[in-house]
């Protein structure tokens, strides 16, 4: 077993990555961070029990984790795609790409977007040995350490370690929110880390329940790169309610979220969209807002997760006008 661990420590410390002082800063040791970040994301998937077999599908959950690591350490505005590292891990010798029927398994297709990746590849199969290591918490931790210490500068290593912990805790928190009715008081005193866990966990629970669809206008836009137009909004703000139960949440697009928080939109007793007359005074407000009046809102499938009437009534009384 130790031989296998040593073998992968060696492989993980010599990943074939794009290197160049002008392309990559000292923060990532002048190398492309894609492969190490994808491997960290995979290990998170195993830790959460989302990945349970050696065949890896480029799922939305994996994409979100990868994007979270990326945005945590890369400069704002520098975007990327998980499509770069996913097929290219093949060159490191522990990962076989599995194309859809009709595509040649040997050809090195040029893939630079998730659309292309999903069109050509069903997924990838990792070595049984590595799969075994990824299933064990102790070996995951060792391999995580190798990646973080090899490919990232000392000043950003703690961010990656923390993001791993936040990912795990946020996942656990979202599962708790989906299982229990009561979430108040989970965190007595809130640290920055608690806030990240709470935000990320609450968001995960809400966007899952609403399947990435805005409750008020019904828009659903999920880009192939895993970005979504919706936010998880508290009906009674967290600062006031400390209530992360999904029944105090709504999945809202950016425009509806802003309009809801400003009191320009609300939800009636019968779960219909309310649009404030005040919205009409602003000629910049998009006209489609008014066509939503009295339309039923989009709710989660299970009634126990529908927005709570008490929270909606608070919003109508305190915010909507």
Nearer to Zn ion, 42 or 267 (CB): 267
Rounded to an integer, what distance in angstroms lies between the CA atom of residue 61 and that of residue 45? 8
Other CB atoms within a 10 A radius of the CB of residue 249 amount to 29
Binding mask 187-216 for Zn ion (x = CB under 5 A): ---------------------------x-x
Taking CB under 5 A as the rule, does residue 273 contact Zn ion?
no
Place of tokens 């009534």: 313
Residue 272: CB minimum distance to Zn ion, A: 15
- State the minimum distance, in angstroms, from the CB of residue 267 to Zn ion: 12
Shortest Cβ distance from residue 309 to Zn ion (Å)? 21
Q: Which is nearer to Zn ion, 253 or 264 (CB)?
A: 253
Report the Cα 67 to chain-centroid distance in Å: 7
Task: Indicate the residue among 82 and 215 with the shorter CB distance to Zn ion.
Answer: 215
Residue closer to Zn ion by CB (options 51, 217) is 217
Q: How far is the CB of 253 from Zn ion (least distance, A)?
A: 3
| Window of 14-22, 237-245, 251-259, 291-299 that interacts with Zn ion by CB under 5 A | 251-259
Instruction: Pick the closer one to Zn ion by CB: 123 or 263.
Output: 263
Q: How many amino acids of this chain bind Zn ion (CB under 5 A)?
A: 5
Nearer to Zn ion, 71 or 228 (CB): 228
CB of 279 to Zn ion, least distance (A): 13
253 is an interface residue for Zn ion by CB under 5 A: yes
**Least Å from the CB of residue 141 to Zn ion:** 42
Write down the least CB distance from residue 78 to Zn ion, Å.
Answer: 28
Residue 46: partners with Cβ closer than 8 Å, 6 or more residues away: 52, 134, 135, 140
Residue 217 binds Zn ion (CB under 5 A): yes
Site for Zn ion contains 256 (CB under 5 A): yes
Candidate ranges 40-48, 68-76, 129-137, 253-261; the one touching Zn ion (CB under 5 A): 253-261
Q: Least distance to Zn ion from the beta carbon of 219, Å? A: 5
Pick the closer one to Zn ion by CB: 78 or 227: 227
- Binding window for Zn ion (CB under 5 A); candidates: 100-108, 198-206, 249-257, 269-277: 249-257
SS (H, E, C) the chain: CHHHHHHHHHHHCCCCCCECCCCCCHHHCCECCHHHHHHHHHHHHHHCCCCCCCEECCCHHHHHHHHHHHHHHCCCCCCCCCCCHHHHHHHHCCEEEEECCCCCCCCCCCCCCHHHHHHHEEEEEECHHHHHHHHCHHHHHHHHHHHHHHHCCCCCHHHHHHHHHHHHHHHHHHHHHHHCCCCCCCCCCCCHHHHHHHHHHHHHHHHHHCCCCCCCCCCCCECCCCCECEEEEECCCHHHHCCCCHHHEEEEEHHHHHHHHCCCEEECCCCEEEECCHHHHCCCCCCHHHHCCCCECCCCCCHHHCCCHHHHHHHHHHCCC
Please, which residues have CB within 8 angstroms of residue 117's CB and are 6 or more apart in sequence? Answer: 58, 82, 83, 86, 87, 111
**Residue numbers 84-143 binding Zn ion by CB under 5 A:** none
Piece of the chain touching Zn ion by CB under 5 A; list 78-86, 195-203, 252-260, 282-290? 252-260
What's the min distance (Å) between Cβ of 41 and Zn ion? 29
**Footprint on this chain of Zn ion (rule: CB under 5 A):** 214, 216-217, 253, 256
């Amino acid at each position: 077993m130790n031989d296998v661990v040593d073998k992968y420590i060696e492989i993980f410390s010599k990943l074939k990555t794009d290197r160049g002082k002008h392309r990559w800063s000292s923060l990532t040791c002048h190398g492309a961070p894609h492969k190490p970040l994808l491997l960290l994301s995979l290990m998170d998937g195993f830790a959460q029990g989302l990945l349970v077999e050696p065949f890896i599908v480029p799922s939305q959950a994996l994409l979100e984790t990868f994007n979270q690591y990326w945005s945590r350490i890369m400069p704002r505005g520098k975007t990327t795609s998980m499509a770069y590292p996913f097929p290219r891990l093949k060159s490191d010798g522990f990962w076989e790409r599995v194309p859809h029927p009709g595509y040649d398994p040997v050809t090195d297709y040029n893939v630079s977007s998730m659309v292309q990746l999903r069109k050509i590849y069903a997924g990838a199969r990792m070595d049984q040995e590595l799969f075994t290591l990824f299933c064990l918490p102790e070996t995951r931790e060792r391999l995580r350490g190798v990646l973080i210490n090899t490919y990232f500068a000392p000043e950003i290593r703690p961010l990656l370690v923390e993001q791993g912990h936040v990912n795990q805790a946020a996942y656990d928190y979202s599962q708790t929110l989906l299982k229990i009715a009561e979430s108040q008081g989970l965190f007595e005193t809130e640290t920055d880390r608690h806030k990240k866990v709470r935000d990320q966990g609450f968001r995960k629970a809400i966007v899952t329940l609403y399947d990435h669809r805005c409750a008020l206008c019904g828009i659903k836009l999920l880009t192939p790169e895993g970005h979504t137009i919706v936010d998880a909004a508290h009906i009674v703000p967290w600062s006031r309610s400390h209530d992360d139960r999904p029944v105090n949440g709504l999945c809202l697009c950016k425009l509806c979220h802003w309009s809801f928080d400003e009191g320009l939109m609300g939800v009636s007793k019968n779960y219909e969209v309310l649009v404030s007359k005040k919205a009409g005074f602003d000629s910049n407000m998009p006209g489609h807002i008014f066509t939503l009046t009295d339309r039923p809102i989009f709710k989660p499938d299970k009634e126990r997760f529908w927005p709570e009437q008490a929270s909606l009534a608070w919003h109508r009384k305190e915010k909507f006008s």
